């Protein structure tokens, strides 16, 4: 299977558009390209019941984020602070940047 292209990168702010967490905004912690999913901070939180072991001294219920499909996320533009669609533009120096479709400003990754 070929690696799927995505317009969402690590450290981007995204909004969840579908599901139980619809409307929540969070930072992308990790991208899983083979499964076309992303881990978003404080979104799709699942509870894991763990037993005490050599790695974790204490057992109990641990909350952690579960991956969300990328098609359910929309990038939040830092300039207009809205969820936006993205287009791409190649600059004079050959660098490819993402462009906000609403305000036309380039979206730079802070990571």
Q: What is the pTM of this model?
A: 0.86
pLDDT digits (tens, 9 = 90+) for 54-89: 887 888 999 999 999 999 999 999 999 999 999 999
3-state secondary structure the chain: CCCCCCCCCCCCEEEECCCCCCCCEEEEEEEECCCCEEEECCCCEEEEEECCCCCCCCCEEEEEECCEEHHHEEEECCCCCCEECEEEEECCCCCEEEEECCCCCEECCCC
Is the predicted pLDDT of residue 104 greater than 90, yes or no?
yes
């Amino acid at each position: 299977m070929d690696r799927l292209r995505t317009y969402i990168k690590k450290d981007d702010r995204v909004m969840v558009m579908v599901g139980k967490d619809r409307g929540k905004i969070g930072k992308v912690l990790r991208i899983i390209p083979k499964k076309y999913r992303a881990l978003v901070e404080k979104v799709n939180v699942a509870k894991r019941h763990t037993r005490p072991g050599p790695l974790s001294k204490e057992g109990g219920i641990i909350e952690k984020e579960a991956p969300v499909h990328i098609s359910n996320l929309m990038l939040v533009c830092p300039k207009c602070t809205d969820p936006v669609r993205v287009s791409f533009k190649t600059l004079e120096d050959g660098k490819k940047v993402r462009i906000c479709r609403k305000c036309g400003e380039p979206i730079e990754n802070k990571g």
